[in-house]
Amino acid sequence: MLKLEPRPESSKFWSLASPVLALGITVILGTLLFAALGKDPVQGLRVFFWEPLSNGYRIGELLVKATPLLLIALGLAVCFRSNVWNIGAEGQFVIGAVVAGGVALMAGKNTSGFIVVAILLAGVIGGMAWAALTGLLRDRFNANEILVSLMLVYVATLVLNYLVFGPWKDPGGYNFPQTKTFEAATQIPRLVKGSRVNIGTLIALAGVAALWVFLFRTRAGFAQQVGGLAPAAARYAGFSSRKALWVALLVSGGAAGLAGALEVAGPIGQLTPYVPAGYGFAAIIVAFVGRLHPVGMVFSAILMSMFYIGGELAQSRLGLPKSLTGVFQGLLLFTLLACDTLMAYRLRWRPAPASSGPAAPTAMVRGTA
């Protein structure tokens, strides 16, 4: 019999091995899924895990999708390490894109390329402002930040739809719900000619380094984590749990808003109803698969972007629904949660106790007269 036995302390080995095991189980479950759908499992896995890396252009597309995931996950890591559960990064991403798009629409034919700086700053401010709504309700009224931030996602989507269906709708766009295409001056500078990879990738990598220094090499980073995890201990040490709340939400919102600005002024080039791509929710998985560590989240962001591209290829080549991307993301999250049990518990094999048979009858000796 297998039994879970509590460990005396959390296992450092399984804290690193659990995501690897979860990925392996996800691959196995994916193989069974492809077989159940009547597709060649080898071809299906090849589409998800090999095709996105098969040439330089596809690697570039991988980085394009990994960039917003990584940026949002970096901000969410600050929240989760501070015990602030911001589930509404998708809404902050959308509002950042809306505010950045509003600045981009102001550009004309002769606008300087320096407007890109204003666009990115507008995205950061928009995301921070949207996250501040959650912070205000949590700070002043003790509202649950999970519910508030999640509900604000739908409000942000409604704001976007109102603008692209109404005031910002392109009059020359054949009645499609979208803004006009942004001017060339607003385009985020690209790193490689012939590829959509832009400076957002460098910004995300700089964010990785900045977060590592902040969390592990500064007193403020230490105070941030203590203020969220143990408010009483933080107050005793002179740290403010209220400050930890605001820093976590503003950093997270700013990172999500920056990702939204990079998305609309980069690959998309305009505002459409399809700006909400689910990056804000997928980044939660990226953060936890990467163990809330800046370096770990780089690899998990690449893995998650492989799921996005693999889902698109599976749709075009295998005739499978694009929602298969979400299936793989969900499988990875649930298997990770299951494998994380091994951090606090160990499996022990205990043989079942042998069942004793019926007692042998006692022979009765009868004397003869």
| Mean pLDDT of the region 194-200 | 91
pLDDT of amino acid 225:
85
Average pLDDT, the chain: 90
**Which pLDDT band, with edges at 50, 70 and 90, does 188 fall under?**
very high
Dump pLDDT digits (tens) for 277-335.
899 999 999 999 999 999 999 999 999 999 999 888 888 888 888 788 889 999 999 99
Of 309, 221, 223, 265, residue with least CA distance to 100: 265
The pLDDT score that the predictor gives to residue 356 is 54
Residue pLDDT, tens place only, 27-53: 999 999 999 989 999 999 998 889 888
List Cβ neighbours of 161 (8 Å cut-off, separation of 6 or more).
177, 273
Q: Which residue has the higher pLDDT, 222 or 353?
A: 222
Per-residue pLDDT at 369 exceeds 50:
no
- In the chain, what percentage of residues exceed pLDDT 90? 68
Structure tokens at 310: 């693999």
**pLDDT tens, residue by residue, 241-255:** 888 899 999 999 999
Task: Give, in order, the Cα–Cα distances in Å from 86 to each of 253, 287, 317.
Answer: 9, 12, 37
* 3-27 per-position pLDDT tens digit: 888 888 889 899 889 999 999 999 9
What does the pLDDT read at residue 268?
92
Q: Is the pLDDT of residue 91 over 80?
A: yes
Q: What is the pLDDT of residue 69?
A: 97
- What is the reported pTM? 0.91
Q: At what angle do helices 219-229 and 200-217 cross, to 10 degrees?
A: 80
| pLDDT band for position 355 (cuts 50, 70, 90) | low
Q: Which of 50-54, 95-99, 151-155, 285-289 has the lowest mean pLDDT?
A: 50-54
Window from 144-158, 187-201, 312-326 with minimum mean pLDDT: 312-326
pLDDT score for 363: 46
> What pLDDT does residue 237 have?
76
CA distances from 148 to 93, 133, 134, 152, 154 (A): 16, 8, 6, 6, 11
- Cβ of 178: how many Cβ atoms within 10 Å? 20
Asked whether residue 365 carries a pLDDT value surpassing 60, the answer given is no
* CA dist., res. 171 & res. 199, Å (int): 31
| pLDDT reported for residue 143 | 95
- Confidence band of 353 (pLDDT split at 50, 70, 90): low
pLDDT at 41: 92
Asked whether the predicted pLDDT for residue 150 surpasses 70, the reply is: yes
Residue carrying the six token digits 């990785």: 208
Q: What is the pLDDT of residue 354?
A: 61
160: closest CA among 312, 281, 277, 282? 277
* pLDDT score for 325: 86
